[in-house]
Amino acid sequence: MDSAGSDTVESGREGLKGAVALFHSLSDPTRLAITRRLAGGQARVVDLTRELGLPQSTVSTHVSCLRDCGLVVGRAEGRQMFYSLTRPELMDLFAAAETLLAATGNAVALCPTCGPPPANLPRMRPRDE
């Protein structure tokens, strides 16, 4: 490969850094579960703890990470903090992922490199209405 081709590959990698960071931020099962839950509406850490069945410290750590990544925002109401997604486009990303998984027959779950999904994936508990 000549140096011009090499430059193209490097500039292509540079252009992918944002996407790599985005997908990395969602690659943790707990963070993915939190963002999927917040796609359904705002929640406090105590709500997420109860619904995901995880310790408060775990949920707080992952919410903080998502906030640092710019995917989640907190809104104070008195002494409580309500978290929500910063951008509705994240819900479109979830829908596109589900469509892709359905179209490929969930082949990624069978991939020896990327699958199967972790056994410790948090399970959502029903929300109290």
Which domains, from first to last, does the chain contain? 29-110 (1.10.10.10)
Q: Which two tokens stand for residue 20?
A: 């790599």
pLDDT at 112: 75
Residue 120: per-residue pLDDT: 59
Each residue's pLDDT expressed in tens, for the chain with a length of 129 residues: 455 555 555 667 788 999 999 999 999 999 999 999 999 999 999 999 999 999 999 999 999 999 999 999 999 999 999 999 999 899 999 999 889 888 988 787 777 777 765 665 566 666 654
90-97 contacts at long range (C-beta below 8 A, 24 or more positions apart):
90/35, 90/39, 91/39, 94/35, 94/36, 94/39
